[in-house]
Amino acid sequence: MNSRFLETIKIVDREVYNLKYHQQRLDRTIGEGIVTLKEIIKPQDSGVLRCRIVYDKDSYSVEYLPYKKREIQTLKLVFDDTVEYAQKFENREKLNTILEKKEGCDDVLIVKDGLITDTTIANVAFFDGDIWLTPKQPLLEGTMRAKLLEEKKIYATYISYKDIYKFKKVALMNAMIDFDIITQDNIEDIIC
């Protein structure tokens, strides 16, 4: 079923970003020493690239694609207590089905068991006026999230969907967009 995995890695002018965190996730997924990202990533082009690595324990493929950021300013709350995405699978069928519920919004904010998790493409963080908080139980423990937690720039806690209107700002984070604060003035304008 979901036997192949995916890493999406940001490359800017041949510089590979956050390789340590991608390697850690790959090692947790298939075991240490099977694939060494530093040895297989060899970008030839300049500019901002999305390095897409599809892998399992037996094989891998590496592809370099030009990157264009998807603008997200609005999120639809979608409730799904069955969604699982603890490993970054190549097969995103369940997430794509959830995304179909976005209605007129740019993406969805997935609520599982009453708690905020992720969007379909990014981890999230909320600013309370003092610190940035990220869900303690995301669907996927992203590499940028791991980096920011380690650097103590964000802190993990349980966030009920009922509490999101108490926050002042929302940010999305993933390997490609880093930490991207949604520019709407009010949470009410973001959650549609």
Q: In total, how many domains does the chain have? A: 2
Please say which residue of 26, 46, 66 terminates a domain.
66
CATH assignment at residue 126: 3.20.10.10
pLDDT digits (tens, 9 = 90+) for 2-23: 579 999 999 999 999 999 999 9
Average pLDDT along the chain = 96
Whether 122 and 170 have beta carbons less than 8 Å apart is answered as: no
Q: Show the domain range for 40.
A: 5-66
Say yes or no: 95 and 129 in one domain: yes
Could you tell me if 144 and 95 lie in one domain? yes
Look at residue 115 and give its three-state secondary structure.
strand
| Cα angle 95-167-126, degrees, rounded to a multiple of 5 | 45
Residues 31 and 93 in one domain: no
The answer on 79 and 62 residing in a single domain is: no
| Residue where a domain stops, chosen among 45, 66, 87 | 66
Same domain, 112 and 163: yes
Question: Is 183 found in the same domain as 161?
Answer: yes
Residues 96 and 26 in one domain: no
pLDDT tens-digit profile of 109-136? 999 999 999 999 999 999 999 999 999 9
pLDDT one-digit tens code per residue, 92-112: 999 999 999 999 999 999 999
Does residue 1 register a pLDDT over 60?
A: no
Domain ends where: 66, 96, 111? 66
* C-beta separation of 105 from 75 below 8 A: yes
pLDDT digits (tens, 9 = 90+) for 78-89: 999 999 999 999
